[in-house]
Structure 1
Amino acid sequence: MGERVTMTTPTTTLRRAPDQTARIPVRASVRDALLVGLFGTLLALAWSWQPSIWFDEAATVSATMRSWPELGRMLLSIDAVHGLYYAGMHLWLDLVGYSPFALRLPSAVFVGVAAALTVILVRSRAGRRTAVLAGVALCLLPRVTWMGAEGRSYALTAALAVALTLIFLAAWRRGPAPRRIRVLWWTLYGVIAVVATVTFIYLAFLVGAHGLTALWTVWAGRRRDRAARASLFGWGLASLAAAVLLVPFALGVVGQSGQVSWIAPISWGSWNGVFVTQWFYLNRPFALVGWALVIVGVAALVVAARRSRAAGSETSRAQARNPSLLAIAVPWLAAPTLGVIVASAIATPLYSPRYLTFSAPAVAILIGVALDALRRRWLIVSALVALAGLAAPQFVAQRQPEAKQNSSWSEVADLISRERTARPDDTAAIIYGPVRQHPAATTRVIAYSYPHAFEGLIDVKLKTPAAQTGGLWETRYPLDDVTDRFGGVDAVWLVTSDKQDWRPGVTGKLSALGYTLDEEWSLTGVNVLRYVR
């Protein structure tokens, strides 16, 4: 077990770090981890129901609100990279039913899990205060408050990244153990690496980062320690086995790479994604302070490592055989980003800032080290308050109704629901037009996201429902081919993009069927019209 920690001593975090050859102190950290995890979940959950659903979340809804055979058929043609997440969300929504709140609730929970596991991870290599500060810093990162209110897999990838790193450290520590024990732990590591990569393929870069941590640790131990070399060998075999098992999945994902054709090639603008958007979202002031703290955290760990080596004690030599916090955090932060950028430059564009969300815990770890280096409690509290103050404007912006890609879909749904309630006896049809920025879909994505508002409307242009196409979205007839579907219809709704404006063409064709424009509404990115006859 680790050395007992008090909050009153002014000594540095790194001098009161626990013995890294001891067990990861899960029990000693559990209360702190639970409290920080609860804080992260509640913060992510706060007002998460306010923003409208947007296109990416509508893809989750479209995928998960279909039968299991239909989902399996879809994954053979598109979105296999998200297949395991979709399966989990299918189970969850089968259990609780669909609503925007239910869609986002798992992400808020995964933020809490990631924060709690970060506390445990840091506590295995540093003092209690550093661990708590790292967990709280993770909860405050603008990218993390964003992912906690997002019905996608990003929060889950962060939690899996911390869990996989903890298993890596636990397996490494078994270097001196009997061979059977080592094999069991590295097998577990390989299995979780497969699960993590199937959940989101970019997590394969984290396995590579663990390899850099392993090499760093062996080099820092001057390559003489047999247990460290055995652990490096264990990582190599586990990673190789995982890679072999993942080949069919990787080939399937590569075969569907056309679905990310929207990703721009690497350019100078990509660096804004790396230094601002990736972990600090759109919050440039937080990014400036955050990177300064990351640099301070790296410097503090380097200084501590040099002091430890200079001391030359048996404890310092034992610690050198195990991955240090510096050797864990720096590859985790840098290797996935550099790997994706290099792959994008020499192969095909793959870099999107949100895809590297799983490295956010590494950023938080280094920020936690930097905060604890302030040593005095009042300075640490002041710094945390300042970070919270920098995070607050972006947090508030993320919880506005149109925060997600300026989506006004909830307002469209409320409008149609309200107007239909005022005319309960009308038999109504609807024409779904284009949706902004997403040519493969139509504004029916609003109906997927808010089904109750559109229940009972006749989709006159529908050819094949999305669940039967083997893709994410439905197929449609031209309007001229379905004029026979308007028989007995009293009112027709048109929901269309304000850029690809269908209003003139649809108005003319409906006029020939005896309809006149009754009322029109303009919302952000969407025009809504009602015709009557």
Structure 2
Amino acid sequence: MNDAETMVLPRLGPAAASVEDPWGEGRAVAPGRPPAVVPARRFAAWLVPALMMAMVSVARAGGPVPRAEEAAAWRAATSSWRDILHSGDVTGAPYHLLIRAWAEAFGTSAHALRAPSVLAMTAAAALVAATATRMFGPGTGLLAGAIFAVLPTSARYAQQAQPYALTLLAAVLATWLFGSVVERPTPRRLVGYGSAVVLLGLCHVVALLLLAGHGWTVFAFRRKAAARWLVVVAAGVLPAAALLWSAAKHGTWIGPVSQPSPQLLAELPGQLFGRTAVGAVLLGLALFSLPLRYRTAIHSASAVVPPLALLLVAQATPIWEPRYLLFTLPAWATLGAVALARLSARRTDL
């Protein structure tokens, strides 16, 4: 199978669209090139979602101190460096060391300890929009960033001293760099992508399941880049693998986990998106964003493959926890934005 832009080839779009571009998306964005748009529109496409996310995040970042789920971070902020390293929470140590350093510089108030999450989620909203803008144009980018910013879970974890906001930012960064590295795998881009993989694994090892989605995209569309991608990924996951090995050696695990059951799986949309109704709408839009083209397939794989991989792994060991899948939110938001943009395009063409 040769590298290709399209896997599904129905003629669904207007007559002016080609068979390989059923929605006419290629008319605005040439393969491998950024869309030709006014710089101000590109700037606004990521700035507006970033401001939205910042305002939502800051609004309640000074809430009760500490919330139950933030207790570990508060203990780390007031503990000695030695105590953190010998706490037994091996996989959480990188985040706790970061919080300890942050507290040393900015104090241990609620706003101070939650600031890294606020900053990470704000940057993630901007990067979600920038990634979608590069692939689909500024209108879709703005929609993607805005959808991500208004999701209840985005606001919730931006307001908590937990590693999930930083994990999500690392996931968005890895996907941003992935799009470049499979098109032109230069040494500089490979190093950048590998560094993002390292950061992702140190933030939360389960988030490395994002690489399963990236891998599917590589082998489905860009097989010529597969060897380089595998080498970079293998090197990038080594630090996280070392953490897992150390955790297993000490008899510890990555946090609260459970065995997936039909009831837990049914609750996943509400827990992942914050509201069951929001999850149903976004999932419906995502189905409309089927991977007709390579750019959409990147996000489809990043959204769908990691949950399936986690479910598969959970059959062998109790590792199921909806929070571990928060790093898929940017992909879901982007798919929703692509669907809305396509619906708008269809109405314009009719």
Q: Which TM class, normalised by the smaller chain length?
A: 0.7 to 0.9
Please say if residues 17 and 125 of structure 1, whose CA atoms lie closer than 8 Å, have aligned partners that are also in contact: no
State how far apart, in whole Å, the 2-side matches of 1:374 and 1:134 are: 14
Q: How does 1:514-533 map to 2 (within 5 A)?
A: none
Q: 1:80 is paired with a residue of what secondary structure? A: coil
1:294 equivalent to 2:298? Answer: no
Q: How does 1:249-268 map to 2 (within 5 A)?
A: 249-255=243-249, 258-259=252-253, 262-268=256-262
State how far apart, in whole Å, the 2-side matches of 1:13 and 1:98 are: 52
Note the C-alpha offset of 1:170: 1.6
State how far apart, in whole Å, the 2-side matches of 1:340 and 1:86 are: 25
Q: What residue number does 2:276 align with?
A: 284
1:378–1:174 CA distance, 2 compared to 1 (3 A): closer
Note the C-alpha offset of 1:233: 1.6
> Which residue identity lines up with residue 336 of structure 1 in the other structure?
P
User: Aligned pairs, how many?
Assistant: 325
Which residue of 161, 181, 187 corresponds with 1:183? 187
Q: What residue number does 2:340 align with?
A: 371
Note the C-alpha offset of 1:195: 2.1
1:43 equivalent to 2:56? Answer: yes
1:261–1:184 CA distance, 2 compared to 1 (3 A): closer
- 1:315-356 alpha-carbon deviations (Å, 9 max, x no partner): xxxxxxxxx22221111111211111111112x211110111
Note the C-alpha offset of 1:89: 1.6
Q: 1:81 is paired with a residue of what secondary structure? A: coil
Which residue of 25, 30, 37 corresponds with 1:19? 30
State how far apart, in whole Å, the 2-side matches of 1:44 and 1:13 are: 36
- Looking at CA atoms only, which structure, 1 or 2, has the larger radius of gyration? 1
Please say if residues 91 and 202 of structure 2, whose CA atoms lie closer than 8 Å, have aligned partners that are also in contact: yes
Q: What residue number does 1:115 align with?
A: 125
Q: What residue number does 1:468 align with?
A: none
Q: Which moved more, 1:46-55 or 1:350-359?
A: 46-55
State how far apart, in whole Å, the 1-side matches of 2:281 and 2:44 are: 29
Note the C-alpha offset of 1:235: 0.4
How high is the sequence identity, in percent, across the aligned residues? 23
> Which residue identity lines up with residue 371 of structure 1 in the other structure?
L
1:202–1:259 CA distance, 2 compared to 1 (3 A): closer
State how far apart, in whole Å, the 2-side matches of 1:368 and 1:68 are: 44
Q: How does 1:335-484 map to 2 (within 5 A)?
A: 335-346=305-316, 348-375=317-344
1:257–1:332 CA distance, 2 compared to 1 (3 A): farther
Q: 2:258 is paired with a residue of what secondary structure? A: coil
State how far apart, in whole Å, the 2-side matches of 1:135 and 1:263 are: 30
Q: How does 1:19-98 map to 2 (within 5 A)?
A: 19-22=30-33, 28=39, 29-74=42-87, 77=88, 79-98=89-108
Please say if residues 164 and 189 of structure 1, whose CA atoms lie closer than 8 Å, have aligned partners that are also in contact: yes
- 1:53-77 alpha-carbon deviations (Å, 9 max, x no partner): 2222111010121222332232xx2
TM-score by length of 1: 0.57
Please say if residues 190 and 239 of structure 1, whose CA atoms lie closer than 8 Å, have aligned partners that are also in contact: yes
Note the C-alpha offset of 1:15: 4.5
Note the C-alpha offset of 1:137: 0.4
> Which residue identity lines up with residue 191 of structure 1 in the other structure?
S
Q: What residue number does 2:13 align with?
A: none
List gaps (5 residues or longer) in structure 2. Answer: 1-16, 18-22
1:72–1:264 CA distance, 2 compared to 1 (3 A): closer
1:330–1:211 CA distance, 2 compared to 1 (3 A): same
Q: What residue number does 1:233 align with?
A: 227
State how far apart, in whole Å, the 2-side matches of 1:246 and 1:63 are: 20
1:330 equivalent to 2:300? Answer: yes
- 1:413-447 alpha-carbon deviations (Å, 9 max, x no partner): xxxxxxxxxxxxxxxxxxxxxxxxxxxxxxxxxxx
- 1:444-474 alpha-carbon deviations (Å, 9 max, x no partner): xxxxxxxxxxxxxxxxxxxxxxxxxxxxxxx
Please say if residues 48 and 142 of structure 2, whose CA atoms lie closer than 8 Å, have aligned partners that are also in contact: no
1:174 equivalent to 2:143? Answer: no
TM-score by length of 2: 0.84
Note the C-alpha offset of 1:23: 5.5
Q: What residue number does 2:10 align with?
A: none
Please say if residues 13 and 373 of structure 1, whose CA atoms lie closer than 8 Å, have aligned partners that are also in contact: no
Note the C-alpha offset of 1:147: 0.9
State how far apart, in whole Å, the 2-side matches of 1:106 and 1:23 are: 31
Note the C-alpha offset of 1:358: 0.6
- 1:176-227 alpha-carbon deviations (Å, 9 max, x no partner): xxxxxx2332233223212210121012111222111111213xxxxxxxxx
Q: Looking at secondary structure, tell me which structure has more strand per residue.
A: 1
State how far apart, in whole Å, the 2-side matches of 1:275 and 1:61 are: 29
Please say if residues 294 and 366 of structure 1, whose CA atoms lie closer than 8 Å, have aligned partners that are also in contact: yes
State how far apart, in whole Å, the 2-side matches of 1:196 and 1:374 are: 34
Q: Which moved more, 1:145-154 or 1:40-49?
A: 40-49
Q: 1:374 is paired with a residue of what secondary structure? A: helix
Please say if residues 215 and 232 of structure 1, whose CA atoms lie closer than 8 Å, have aligned partners that are also in contact: yes
- 1:5-49 alpha-carbon deviations (Å, 9 max, x no partner): xxxxxx977244322312599994334212321211111221232
Q: How does 1:124-203 map to 2 (within 5 A)?
A: 124-175=134-185, 182-203=186-207
Q: What residue number does 2:216 align with?
A: 212
State how far apart, in whole Å, the 1-side matches of 2:68 and 2:36 are: 42
Please say if residues 144 and 334 of structure 2, whose CA atoms lie closer than 8 Å, have aligned partners that are also in contact: yes
Note the C-alpha offset of 1:126: 0.5
- 1:61-99 alpha-carbon deviations (Å, 9 max, x no partner): 10121222332232xx2x221222122222222112111
Q: What residue number does 2:265 align with?
A: 271
Q: Looking at secondary structure, tell me which structure has more helix per residue.
A: 2
State how far apart, in whole Å, the 2-side matches of 1:26 and 1:118 are: 18
